[in-house]
Structure 1
Amino acid sequence: MTSAPYRFRPINMLGATTAQWLVFVAIGEGVMAAWSVADIFVLSNLDTLSQRTLDAWSLTGLIGFVHIALYLTTVVIAARWIYRANANTQANLRKLETPPSWAVGWFFIPFANLWKPYKAMAEMARANRRSGTNLPLGPWWAAWLISGIVGNISARLAFSSSDPSTLMTSSVLGVIASLAGIAAALLFRRIVTTVTEAQTAKLQAEVF
């Protein structure tokens, strides 16, 4: 239990920004899924495609760098939202086991990041849940883990070998990871908007 004092601050703008960037991430994951499908097609037709086509296709790898930049930007914004939502909850005398700093920090600790972030998020989100509202915490975390773990395996396979068969497996796993990423982004967006609305309503009630 934490005894540090926290201030309740408006979260509506940060919540709206986070929700918007999560939509961007979902779109980006969709593009990555389509790219992986196209990779599968190319790898399946290496013998029939011209060298010029293959050279042009190799340039599409730049899409991956754009996706990484988009993802990292969203991570920073989402981390700010998680910190603020947790701090607001504790400022409302709803003491949580996980302080704001660790609600964010656990995402970056190996092995512990397999369950600790979910525990912190679930505790905070449920404390802000409105009556009758169901939050997709379990599905979100499952999709998040699948996206991260499968995506990591896909990347390792792609960088470890140039064998077409291995690259094909990497692309198939890439499709799975991207589809899970779309689900994770949209489910987390629902959690963000629900908690943001609850905290904004409470702030307005206290003002009036």
Structure 2
Amino acid sequence: MNGARVLVAGATGALGGALTAELVGRGARPALAGRDQARLARAARACRGAPTVLFDAYAPDSCARAVTRAAEALGGLDAVVTVFGTVAFGEATAVGDEVAEHVMTVNALAPAAFFRAALATMEPGSMIVAFTGVVAERPQPGMADYSASKAALRAWLDAVRREARTAGIRVLEVRPAHLDTGFADRAVVGTAPPLPAGGDPRAVVGAVADAMALDAELLRTAADGTPVVERRAR
């Protein structure tokens, strides 16, 4: 990772901030993307003045522009990572179509917009990295639309992974179990159902950085909460 030029979209969040710090500690050169200029400025100061770009996850065209601007600032990109999202809780009949559309746009279409722009210009040896979650493979009651959005992103990544292999570009999916980041307390609607104790995000971001340095395609969480890096996605 030493010297790698990495765009972290969602760098001002709890998980994105932890991952950015981990990458910087390993010598990466980050560009930070977020929707709040003041929070981006604070994050940049902690990263030795890393360049920043604004984006709105509900506006996919702004995601593509963020990739272009980050590449210009760093002289190219070796990796693009999306670490942002939103969640809605409640039975499917109670969530409503507008909220469902919002969740799908932020969690699936916006990351795809980042990666579509990146894949069009990346060189062989580069990578894209997306956080999905355990609900992408095990949808849960009380969060049907959230589960569907993550499953949609997982399916998109699976297909794009096979497309990108011929160009020498890697696709890494990060599929952790519930983490202790406070994310569940910031739902756009509804209240979180009883959840297991959240895992330590620091252990996950360390494993993500390891997986990025290795030729890995999947990072998942084992039954005991331990991050597991897999060379080939399943």
Q: Which has the larger radius of gyration?
A: 1
| Higher RCO structure (Cα 8 Å, ≥6 apart) | 1
- Give the TM-score normalised by structure 2: 0.27
